[in-house]
Structure 1
Amino acid sequence: MEQKSIKEVHNELTMHSVRFAKDEQGRRKEQEVLFKWPEVQKKLGEHKHIYVVDARLGSNNHTHRLWYDVIPPHTEEGQDWRTLGHRHTVEAIIYFLQGKGHSIIDGVRYDWQAGDLLSVPMFSWHRHINDGDEPVLRIASTTGPLSLGLGQAVYEDERYPEFWIYAQEGEDARKTLIPGGGGQVGNGQVGGNRAAEMYAEQVAFAMHEEQLRRKSKVLVKQKDLVFEPTAMGNLAYVVDPRIGFHSKALGVVMAEIPPGKRSGAHRHLYDEIDLVVGGRGKVIVEDKEFEFDTLDVLSIPVFQWHQYFNTGTEPLRILGINTRLALDNLGLSLTHQGEHADYVE
């Protein structure tokens, strides 16, 4: 086999970057959008944890994933967990569809039931226990793909201490919400010049970040959701930094569409995964139409126009989990609004 010249190798690297956006457009057009609940339900009969939208399964989602799982009655999610549970350097959203129970997150107990949601602070130990007589059915979405891409995906699980990276270093390392520990706020302070101040801020960042994570809201009760009219229709912001959550990547909204009505149309540069919480309808994505029912999952392609229609007789509720915040922090967030919803003024 003829060896490529230095010029050929590096020209190929350049063209990989040049071609990427065009190639990505093609991948978006071909990506799987609709994941039907009956198919997922069948798989859950064989295994209690089923990935639905995941790049490792061929999904064209670069920043987050979604899975379904089941916790049997009166048991814990990880049945060998005793004290810690697990923690990870990914943001996580958990939405409960059936059952009731409680979670221990960073040492605090949160009681939940169907319709409630948890926003788990990054790198906090957490456990989930089913307190009821029926199985708990839930979905979870995390920024695993984003952390993997950054080379910063750390998953520490009480059941697998041989894979711990930090927790084995002692009690302080197990208590901190910062991989490797936050250090001391004043450790970087020397002199009185601007460069010294800037470096001291860098050293102190992790400790301040840990404090903000511990102040973050965690539990959202379904009864507390407030729907208000927007160009896209009636929306309730569920997880967002502007309402008390220390989230840097994952945001959550709930949309509600009356029977026979439609949402607004928009497109955006962030990944979005939708769970149909209740009702039935259809979504038009560019020139394709997909009919969905309760518990189906939608993976909306980046920067493609999409609009939702309630074709049923009951209110349609859709939980939208997106990575707009990650794009905001990168300065890449963009949303274009098209037609407005037909039921708001």
Structure 2
Amino acid sequence: MNSHSLNPSELAGRRDEILSHFVRIDKEFDRRRGENRLLVKREDIQWESASRVHPTQQEGHLLARIISPELGFNIHTFRVFKRQIGGGGIDGAFHTHGDAVKYYLEGKGKEIIDDQEVEVSPGDLAFIPANIWHGTENTGDEPMVFIAFHQIPGTHLPVPASWQYHADDLSEHESIDSRLVTMEKEDPAAMDSATLYSWRQHLLHELGVLDDEFNQRRKAKNYLVPRNEVPWESPADNQTTTLIAPELGFDIHTLQLSVRVVPPGHSDETLHSHGEAVHYYLSGQGHQIVGDESIAVEAGDLVFVPAGTAHSIRNSTGDPMRFLIAEQLPGTYLQRPVISQD
């Protein structure tokens, strides 16, 4: 069907028709989310032909879906999969989608991102921006394998619509830093509605100023973090290093990626929570605490941490634990489907 030839009524009707079928699929996705899976062991990762789920024609393309709603994970922001591209110069079909970050495990190749070509090899990380045509080419003789943290198809980029007051309107008011000191002593539950709303607006103003700076830094349009720039050794008091995030010049909106190195014998003293996250364990072994569960993990395993769930890590061995953390970008919201019950 040529959508350009449709009149407005036909175009809206066609979209409604497609959405009606999409809703049926999303309803089943949501039912499967109810399995609330958290762990994928390395040995349970299964390969299938990429053509089973994608219209790719190339031979030698394999896909391993790992963490995704249809597999029983209550995740809404991004999914995780592995991809293998056969050797001998085989390339991937050009396509577009949402934000994605790839970590390369085997082989060598290049990412063709719009008009840029980025050489990649094991240990590198590459960012693929949303809505940019791109493809992956295996430039070696051996299979090329990567793991991808990929915005769930069908979701939207959470582009900030910043709220800001004009500077002249704020000149005679208490500074934001002074307000933050005052806020530490205030109980939001004791505020009247006007005060509560006013506090929120002042915080939104400051977030808008920061969002403007984030957007300026996104314009650097960085794509690659080479392996030699990843800190595989870190001090005990600064275990986590952010690798791909807006403030580092990546035009990313849905997730960020970090690496954590947990020293031997370390256990987190407190639990913490944030948006959705997936931990991919690269070396060592230990226990990932997620809510009330203590999950034994080792290299090659993955654990999903649901949004708002308290969690921590424990390394009781004599070797460091290293893992990648793909995490919902702070300040964004879960995009839950609105499913019609008609």
Same fold, judged at TM 0.5 (above): yes
Deviations 1:273-304 (A, max 9, x none): 11112222211112211111211111012222
Provide the residue aligned with 1:191 in structure 2.
none
Alpha-carbon distance between aligned partners in 2 of 1:297 and 1:91, rounded to the nearest angstrom: 20
Q: 2:151 aligns with which of 131, 143, 146?
A: 143
Quote the Cα distance in structure 2 between the aligned partners of 1:310 and 1:211: 39
Q: Is the 8 A contact 1:121 1:214 kept in 2?
A: no
Preserved contact between residue 217 and residue 247 of structure 2 (Cα < 8 Å)? no
Answer yes or no: is 1:54 the counterpart of 2:68: yes
Q: Confirm or deny that 1:125 pairs with 2:130.
A: no
Give the TM-score taking structure 1 as reference length.
Answer: 0.61
**C-alpha distance 212-243 of structure 1, shift in aligned 2 (>3 A):** closer
Asked whether 1:321 is paired with 2:332, we answer: no
Change (3 A) 1:75 1:211: farther
SS in 2 for 1:76: coil
SS of equivalent residue, structure 1 residue 268: coil
1:282 maps to which residue?
A: 287
CA contact (8 A) 1:66 1:142 kept: yes
Deviates more, 1:307-316 or 1:215-224: 307-316
2:272 alignment counterpart: 267
Structure 1 partner of 2:90:
76
Contact 1:74 1:129 in 2 (8 A): no
SS of the aligned residue for 1:252 comes to strand
Residue 315 of structure 1, CA deviation:
2.0
TM-score, normalised to structure 2, is 0.62
5+ residue gaps in structure 1? 1-23, 153-208, 333-345
Percentage of identical aligned residues: 26
1:32 aligns with 2:41: no
Q: Distance in 2 between matches of 1:257 and 1:121?
A: 30
- Structure-2 separation of matches of 1:261 and 1:331: 32
**C-alpha deviation, 1:92, in angstroms:** 0.6
Contact 1:122 1:213 in 2 (8 A): no
Give the one of 305, 308, 314 matched to 1:303: 308
Q: Which residue of structure 1 aligns with residue 26 of structure 2? A: none
Corresponding letter in the other structure for 2:133: W
- Separation in 2 of the partners of 1:72 and 1:251? 29
Aligned residue number for residue 86 of structure 1: 95
Q: Deviations over 1:84-112 (max 9, x none)?
A: x1112x11111112222111111111111
- 1:249-281, CA deviations, whole angstroms, 9 ceiling, x for partnerless residues? 110110001222234543324110111122222
Q: 2: CA distance between counterparts of 1:104 and 1:115? A: 18
Shift of 1:230: 7.8
Alignment length (residue pairs): 236
Match of 1:107 among 101, 109, 115: 115
The one-letter code sitting in structure 2 at the alignment partner of 1:44 is W
Return the alpha-carbon distance in structure 2 between the equivalents of residues 140 and 228 of structure 1: 24
- CA offsets, 1:232-252, max 9 Å, x none? x51111111111112111101
Q: Secondary structure in 2 aligned to 1:266? A: coil
**Cα 1:305/1:237, change in 2 over 3 Å:** same
Alignment partner, residue 47 of structure 2? 44
2:65 maps to a residue whose letter is Y
Distance 1:210 1:259 in 2: 39
Q: CA deviation at 1:228?
A: 5.6
Distance 2:82 2:293 in 1: 26
Counterparts of 2:328 and 2:252 in 1: how far apart (Å)? 10
Equivalent residues of 1:284, 1:307 under 8 A apart: yes
Instruction: Give the SS at the match of 2:101.
Output: strand
Q: Supply the distance in 2 between the matched residues of 1:322 and 1:215 (Cα, whole angstroms).
A: 22
SS of the equivalent of 1:223 reads helix
Separation (CA, whole Å) in 1 of partners of 2:125 and 2:145: 12
Three-state SS of the structure 2 residue aligned to 1:137 is strand
The answer to whether the 8 Å contact 2:101/2:126 transfers is yes
Q: Is the 8 A contact 1:234 1:257 kept in 2?
A: yes
